[in-house]
Amino acid sequence: MKKILSALFMLCLLAPAGKAQNNEIAPKSLGISFFVNDFVTPQRIRTTSLSNVLSNRNFAKLRDMTPGLAVNYFQGVGKHVDFTASLGGSFLRYPMPNKIFNDNSFLLEGAAGLNLKMVSDKYAFQPYISLGFSAHKYRSYYGATMPLGLGLKIKLFDDAHIFITSNYRVPLTTETANYHFQHGLGFAGRLSKKKEAPKVIEPPKPPSDRDGDGIIDDEDKCPDVKGLAKYQGCPIPDTDKDGINDEEDKCPTVPGLARYQGCPIPDTDKDGINDEEDKCPTVPGLARYQGCPIPDTDGDGTNDEEDKCVTIPGPKENYGCPIIPEEVKKRVNLAAKNILFVTGSSNLQKSSFKGLDDVAKIMSENPGMSLAIDGHTDNVGKDEFNQTLSDNRANSVKTYLVSKGIDESRITATGHGETMPIADNKTAKGRQQNRRSELTLSYYK
């Protein structure tokens, strides 16, 4: 058994130490780990079967396992292979075959092996398969096992990592060793400093003229761009950065265009809109009219933004609309007074037609005119009935005028019911005055 321990010690000493490090090969690391030995689960597997233990979840509890501490050593020997060694101890009653111990004793375990990694050390997560050789001393007994297992290395940064291991230890000395699982969690840090690439000091270069403009670099303010001596080796400047050098730029401090010799696009009428976008470059205007003044479509001296009759000339004091002659207003008012309906209905009486025909004639002769029809009632009857009646009567007048060829878009008809009396509803004369139709001509709505 002493020969086995000696072989384990020599394996640790002979692990490669001179291999050049790179980011894919793990550096030398030393760490500490906490582990537990589980003798119970392997015993259940061997007395029943693995499938039985798995199906019944008959694994050992944590209280059935024995804890311990270990010192761990790691060194990469290739991109996918790490050499590992550990020395650990724990207190337990070792279930040695054919022997019974009455109290706990110290178990010293040493192991060496290889971690066969799925990825190189440049990755943060490195799963691996482990295999190796383990020897132990318990009281006066020596034994050996072969650990086989799985693990995961998690790099925190270049100088440290966490490792998780779980291996199954198969006895090599069947009288002094027993089957068991060992599960561990540990932390390891780099032993040696990370090598830095040596700094290369280049010898000073002799004076040169890199841009070949005849001015040596020590005196050239633009050593990589050909220039002129009068500009200390720099090209002709472009102060306003418009791509036209100052010697050819008529506006060297204001960005411009080559077709205007380095000056901005002109604004002849000074209206803030440059001539290339201004449809009226010699007359001040507004951006919303592409540099032209506000238009006056009907030429009446009132611009379209203030003109309520854009296509019909009219005086400014009437918002650009024609003034309706008093004679026409009188004819329309007379027609309105003669609008009569059958009592309690919206049917026009024949006596209304003459006046309405005159209104239709006026509107036909003045196509820009609009007409507002307002119907009113007295307060006899319910409010809802009077409102409906006034609406229907106003629309009857509109329908008649439309039948005379007047476009209905030029006419609005509104009923007001009994809400706008012009006389006292307590008298018959007052109620008669309140039962009325009003016609109002205008040139804008």
DSSP 389-402: HHHHHHHHHHHHHH
Please give the Cα distance from 9 to 3 (Å, whole number).
10
pLDDT of 156: 87
pLDDT in tens, 193-212: 776 667 777 777 778 888 88
Q: Could you identify the residue written with the tokens 């004369």?
A: 429
pLDDT in tens, 112-146: 999 999 999 889 899 999 999 999 999 999 999 99
DSSP state of 164: E
**End-to-end alpha-carbon separation of the chain, Å?**
116
Outline where DSSP puts E strands in 302-379.
370-376
Average pLDDT, stretch 47-69? 90
Parts of the chain belonging to CATH 2.40.160.20 = 2-190
Contact indicator for 109, 87 with CB cutoff of 8 Å = yes
Parts of the chain belonging to CATH 3.30.1330.60 = 326-442
pLDDT in tens, 334-377: 999 999 999 889 999 999 999 999 999 999 999 989 999 999 99
Is 279 in a helix, a strand, or coil? Answer: coil
pLDDT of 374: 97
Please give the Cα distance from 205 to 291 (Å, whole number).
62
Above 50 in pLDDT, residue 379?
A: yes
Q: Which secondary structure element, helix H or strand E, spans residue 272, and what is its range?
A: none
The one-letter amino acid at 189: G
Residue 219 vs residue 445, higher pLDDT? 219
The pair of three-digit structure tokens given for residue 348, joined into one six-digit string: 């026009």
Enter the CATH code of domain 326-442: 3.30.1330.60
Above 70 in pLDDT, residue 20?
A: no
The one-letter amino acid at 177: A
Report the candidate in 401, 335, 331, 339 with the shortest Cα–Cα distance to residue 376: 339
Contact indicator for 175, 37 with CB cutoff of 8 Å = no
Outline where DSSP puts E strands in 39-124.
66-78, 81-92, 105-117
Please give the Cα distance from 139 to 67 (Å, whole number).
18
Please give the Cα distance from 373 to 385 (Å, whole number).
19
Is 183 in a helix, a strand, or coil? Answer: strand
pLDDT of 226: 86
Helices marked H in 192-340: 326-337
Strands in 411-415's sheet, in edge-to-edge order, are 411-415, 370-376, 436-442
Percentages helix, strand, coil for the chain (3-state, rounded to 5) are 25, 30, 50
Contact indicator for 106, 91 with CB cutoff of 8 Å = yes
Task: Work out the percent of the chain whose per-residue pLDDT is above 70.
Answer: 93
Report the candidate in 271, 261, 400 with the shortest Cα–Cα distance to residue 338: 400
Please give the Cα distance from 324 to 440 (Å, whole number).
11
Is 429 in a helix, a strand, or coil? Answer: helix
Burial 240-277 (b: 16+ CB within 10 A, else e): bebebeeeebebbeebbeeeeebbeeebebebebebee
β-pair partners for 414:
374
Average pLDDT, the chain: 88
Report the candidate in 365, 381, 361, 379 with the shortest Cα–Cα distance to residue 419: 379
Residue 200 neighbours by CB under 8 Å, 6+ apart: none
Above 50 in pLDDT, residue 14?
A: no
pLDDT in tens, 266-321: 988 888 898 888 899 998 988 888 889 999 888 888 988 888 888 889 899 988 89
Instruction: Give the number of other Cβ atoms within 10 Å of residue 15's Cβ.
Output: 16
pTM over 0.75: no
Please give the Cα distance from 313 to 299 (Å, whole number).
7
CATH: 3.30.1490.20, 2.40.160.20, 1.10.1060.10, 1.10.760.10. Which one for 2-190?
2.40.160.20
Out of 13-22, 69-78, 200-209, 265-274, the most confident range is: 69-78
Instruction: Report in angstroms the alpha-carbon separations of 22 from 25, 195, 402.
Output: 6, 9, 97
Above 50 in pLDDT, residue 15?
A: no
The pair of three-digit structure tokens given for residue 403, joined into one six-digit string: 């039948």
- Of the listed ranges 48-52, 185-189, 210-214, 283-287, the one predicted with least confidence: 210-214
Is 38 in a helix, a strand, or coil? Answer: strand
